[in-house]
């Protein structure tokens, strides 16, 4: 076996040093900055979309829980002070597509399963966070509202005054920032409240 040594010509080495510079060229820097910028924008936009979806899910759950709370008021025959006398009354939730950022929880003091602003007290006004009402079906005749009352003691469910076995309602909420994000709550006359997840 012969031993071969690699011989380097000193003139070639000096040429290599002048040709190869340490660091990045301007083109390499622009490519790297573009890649980092694209990845950052992609990650931030996905984070905003998942945040909007989470807020929509939370508000949908809150509304469906408020329906269950009002239903429980009626099941337990919760009393409300109507004109100086405490009595078990229907409780309900009023939604209005003209006022899409809130809904009302009310007591039906005159026991007619219709919300009368003058005689039926508002128990609370609930304001949506980052979502709004998008669709109510059915709407009350002559208005843009949906009124759902739970009448003690069973409780029976009145959807826009309809207590028949076939009465049902659909409520759709959507994100304020992303119109493609929507969730639905279904309610029927049997008192079933189902929130789409």
- Whichever domain contains 91, its CATH number is 3.55.40.10
Q: Which residues pair with 77 in a beta bridge?
A: none
Residue 101 lies in a domain: yes
Q: Note the pLDDT tens digit of each residue in 145-171.
A: 999 999 998 889 999 999 888 999 999
- Spatial contact of 174 and 134, defined as CB atoms under 8 Å apart: yes
For residue 88, the surrounding DSSP H or E stretch is: strand 85-88
Answer whether residue 28 is part of any domain: no
Q: For 104-117, how does the pLDDT look when each residue is reduced to its tens digit (9 = 90+)?
A: 999 999 889 999 98
Model pTM?
Answer: 0.76
- Number of domain units in the chain: 1
Closest to 112 (Cα-Cα) out of 85, 82, 133, 132? 82
Residue-number span of the structural domain to which 101 is assigned: 41-195
Residue 150 lies in a domain: yes
Pairwise CA distance, residues 197 & 192, whole Å: 16
pLDDT more than 70, % of the chain: 88
Cα–Cα distance measured from residue 194 to residue 60, given in angstroms and rounded to the nearest whole number: 10
């Amino acid at each position: 076996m012969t031993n071969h040594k690699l011989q380097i010509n000193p003139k070639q080495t000096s040429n290599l040093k002048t040709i190869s510079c340490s660091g990045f060229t301007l083109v390499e820097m622009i490519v790297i900055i573009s890649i980092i910028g694209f990845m950052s924008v992609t990650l931030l936009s996905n984070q905003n979309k998942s945040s909007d979806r989470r807020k929509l899910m939370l508000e949908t759950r809150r509304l469906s829980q408020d329906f269950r709370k009002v239903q429980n008021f009626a099941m337990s025959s919760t009393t409300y002070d109507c004109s100086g006398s405490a009595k078990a009354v229907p409780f309900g939730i009023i939604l209005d597509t003209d006022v899409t950022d809130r809904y009302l929880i009310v007591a039906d003091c005159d026991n007619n399963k219709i919300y009368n602003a003058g005689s039926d007290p508002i128990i609370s006004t609930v304001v949506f966070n980052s979502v709004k009402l998008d669709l109510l079906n059915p709407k009350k005749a002559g208005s843009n509202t949906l009124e759902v009352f739970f009448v003690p003691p069973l409780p029976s469910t009145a959807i826009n005054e309809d207590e028949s076995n076939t009465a049902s309602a659909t409520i759709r909420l959507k994100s304020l920032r992303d119109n493609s994000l929507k969730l639905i709550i279904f309610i029927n006359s049997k008192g079933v409240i189902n929130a789409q997840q």
